[in-house]
Amino acid sequence: MSNLTHIARPYALAAFEYARFSSQLLSWKAFLQSASTITKDKTIQKLLDDPQIDQQLLFDLFHGVLASIINDEQKNFLLLLQQYKRFALLPGISELFDTYYAAFEKMQTVRVVTAIQMEKEIQQKLSQALTKRMQHEVILHCEVDPHILGGAVIHIGDHVIDGSIRGKLSRLLEFSLR
């Protein structure tokens, strides 16, 4: 676990619990995703990386961009991040919030990496098989990486199922060198 994720976890959990108890899960999800998107801008990243930057300036920036979609509690959350200089944690907070949300909704995000684009029919069959096996609704995120040569690498939470040709060749090489 990265240090930033470790630091982001209590913020994400607090936001999730508040959103759940106040029946505002979707509003908070949208707010955190939007705030996270802002941090991905290169100019904003430079500001976040500058230890001398005035935190009030960062608050004004986030609040100004998000003002039309946030409520008072979300504004207070931004103030909390300002107070403890934690704006850079927003992507991690958003990601963890999404994980808590998916678990609450009995959903599991699965990332599938293949060498070529997977056909929709195969995606549906894989999704159905994983849903049946995991007893959760599965949300597939498919990626293409030609470096795996063939097969697929499936990421389910912290678990990785490496069925790629590259992975099999690596294991074969490792076994033969023993």
Per-residue pLDDT of the chain (178 residues; tens, 9 = 90+): 467 789 999 999 999 999 999 999 999 999 999 999 999 999 999 999 999 999 999 999 999 999 999 999 999 999 999 999 999 999 999 999 999 998 888 888 899 999 999 999 999 999 999 889 888 788 899 999 999 999 999 998 778 999 999 989 888 998 888 8
18/93 same-domain check: yes
88/136 same-domain check: no
Choose one of 54, 70, 102: the last residue of a domain.
102
75/25 same-domain check: yes
92/146 same-domain check: no
15/95 same-domain check: yes
Tokens of 128: 């159905």
Choose one of 52, 74, 102: the last residue of a domain.
102
Cα–Cα distance measured from residue 173 to residue 177, given in angstroms and rounded to the nearest whole number: 6
Smallest Cα–Cα separation from 165: which of 110, 114, 111, 112?
114
For residue 1, what pLDDT is reported?
A: 47
Smallest Cα–Cα separation from 59: which of 41, 43, 38, 40?
38
* pTM summary value: 0.67
8/75 same-domain check: yes
Q: Are 44 and 61 in contact (CB under 8 A)?
A: yes
For residue 137, what pLDDT is reported?
A: 84
Residue 156: give the domain boundaries: 107-176
Choose one of 70, 102, 134: the last residue of a domain.
102
Domain tally, the chain: 2
Q: CA 79 → CA 5, 46, 87, distances in Å?
A: 20, 20, 10
7/88 same-domain check: yes
117/172 same-domain check: yes
Question: To which residue do tokens 């990626």 refer?
Answer: 143
For residue 107, what pLDDT is reported?
A: 82
73/130 same-domain check: no
